[in-house]
Structures are given as structure tokens and as C-alpha cells.
Amino acid sequence: MKEIIAQFSGESSRALRSGEACPEAAEILAALSAAGASIEPLHAGSDDPRLSRYFVVRVGDDAKADDLAQRLRAMSPTDAAYIKPHEEAPA
């Protein structure tokens, strides 16, 4: 399972968190659905407006994660989207 860390605009992130209708959020959700990905807030309990814009997207395989991260970065409501590196124990 790959994880993408994404940051969206304020309006889009509010809609993604609340389920409100928003064209930009609908575009994001359509891309996630096509890739078989899930999304959830990275800082679920935070009221901080800066932290509330970050989400973690989980994708089943590497190729889909690469394609989805590129697709998200091309969308106007996306400020950033990168694949989270694998965590490794220090050597």
C-alpha cells in the first residue's frame, strides 16, 4: 500500500472533510475513485486551518500511486501531492 500526502486549497479541503458539494472536491474524489484510492485527513482532530488542508491518500500499488500523484498535482485545488517514502529503521 502506497501513501500520498496531499495538500488542497481551503475550500476543497473543507468540502472533503465535511462531504459538502464542491466542484473541485468532486474532481479530486473522481480521480481517487478511478485509482481505487481512499482519502482521510492527515490531522483528523485538528482545528488549525493550515493543518486541516493535509490529507493522506492510500493507493493499492506503486504504478497507480505514481499516476494519481501526478494527476492530483495537475489539478487546480492541489497545492502539493507527493508519495510518502517507505519508512526504514536507522542503520
pLDDT tens per residue across span 36-55: 999 999 999 888 999 999 99
pLDDT surpasses 70 at 91:
no
Domain 2-83 has CATH 3.30.830.10: no
In this prediction, residue 90 carries a pLDDT of 63
Domain boundaries, the chain: 2-83
Residue 6 near residue 75 (C-beta atoms within 8 A): no
pLDDT surpasses 70 at 1:
yes
Say how far apart CA 41 and CA 53 lie, in whole Å. Answer: 8
In this prediction, residue 75 carries a pLDDT of 97
Say how far apart CA 68 and CA 65 lie, in whole Å. Answer: 5
Element (H, E) at 64: helix 62-74
* C-alpha dihedral, 13 to 29 to 5 to 1, nearest 10°: 150
Average predicted confidence (pLDDT) for the chain? 93
